[in-house]
Structure 1
């Protein structure tokens, strides 16, 4: 380890929060309305306006968002949902929550996203939905995916957990992910994401019936929401005609989210600058493969990954970086390798497995200085060479 390595400690990520979020959290605290209420309603309106979607529904996290999306599309026991194994296990788990079967297809190595050419062969009479993932903020090929989906009459859910602020060139115009180019898009506000509410999620759609169902199911199927009941000048008795869930976001979280949403353009701009610098600084390292941003996509660089040369051991490289003060993570996991999804006949997902085994994720956060980024690159160069 070099002497310089002792001079810095670089985390994988760091949320950009401050006095604005702290002050915003005072509003619901001092108002006495802490759970889902006026702050949630305002956050929903502002997020919908930002993405260009007609409707936005706030929920407790992206996993619950995806679950509600599948339920709303009618996914039920015996159904199949086409998706990727190469994603956090929540993407597959929500399919199992519906007692349906996730059908895994492989990814494109250049983007780490679902390979559209693999979808048609996976469609069966039991296919109820396609669940695509904008992995690490990189938009997937929605144009190709939606073409296939429409040919087969299958709805599309976008797992946009990492994609707040990402964009896609759509019919000649740049549009935000979340405008719901598919049927439904789901976002995460976990601290590792681009903006955070501590935890939390959002569902966007342009379908009023879907939106009404999200709102019904997130609050135990209650026919009247809290704001209506509490502001009414007459006594209202609510009904619970369906079995719902407690998937609500709190007003404290939403107040923080509203401030984070104001920061989002600045955060994305900083990440894109850092992503461009990584591309330049890492280009000279022999054998290192860098992520590809298609001409029709603008990622938010929620994460920046590199693929290691085949002769290097992933764990040893990561340990070497950690010894030098730099945190990294391995490539995105593959759900099919986890015990609940393993099967005797195995899976044919070579690119997904290769991405997990050969990729590492480098530090990235909007406060990152040029010096810190250059240090990460220097330490990676030292470890690899």
Structure 2
């Protein structure tokens, strides 16, 4: 049991990201006795982003992506508070947010991801949607599909961001529209696919060409209207659906916490602990690993989970500290629209249906550990 005179008693998990979901899953099996646990998240479920392209393409139903945080919290003996944190008062030892009030913490961990909005582009908020968070993107994508199929709007799509995520979503949307003539462009201020192997890049660009998806590199969008984009070079590009995938911004409120940060991303050490406050941990995309900087990728949040749990226990006086050393390279499995995928690691690309089946199996196993379905594979959407 915790000694209230010497050990923290209030553990607050801010955000229902992959690492926190896995921490709760483990705490259900091996509880933190004597510690009050609170999870704060805007929704009672959290999407598994690895399955987003498959959902957009129509291979999965929406419920296949959702991690049931309410069930996880209950199993772990944690309290789930629905709300969005927008302030952390270190002096008072509380977090605050819309719908949460002030929640006291002795130890807090942040797993809130990033935002992909692009507020610097005029008209983005009313006329575009960000790929993250999933909920709004899913709703507006379905509304747009319904209007296209009813012949109410022109099927023209613009994807802002030509990284792997943007390309993957473009291929998924194009596949979903198969048999329905449409026009799609991927637009980026820089070069397309800068963070993938040379051969994998060539193959992905070839797939985009085969789908008839144009790639506009070194093109800056300056404004968005209901049916078109305006670019710095004077181009006007028709688009009735605009999705932003280029943004990888931290949530704005993190800068006001007084924690050391790198452009808004919380700086953490090898123990995933803030450099400026040893009561605060941060994992996933909202964190910047000062000891081993890495690109933003969900694989790191998943791998961080057991280290975060061990170090939360250590901070609560119940175990040894574990240093997290992320791998330098990792297997990238990129969905290609249909039930086929491309793998990239060590610069050696592979491609085929068997890779999609591998990815599908990995995703199913990840979700199955939360007890969200009884079958061996995700259910399939009829669409």
Q: Which has the higher contact order (CA 8 A, sep 6+)?
A: 1
Establish whether TM, by shorter chain, passes 0.5: no
Q: TM-score, normalised by structure 1?
A: 0.28
Quick check: which one's strand share is greater?
A: 2
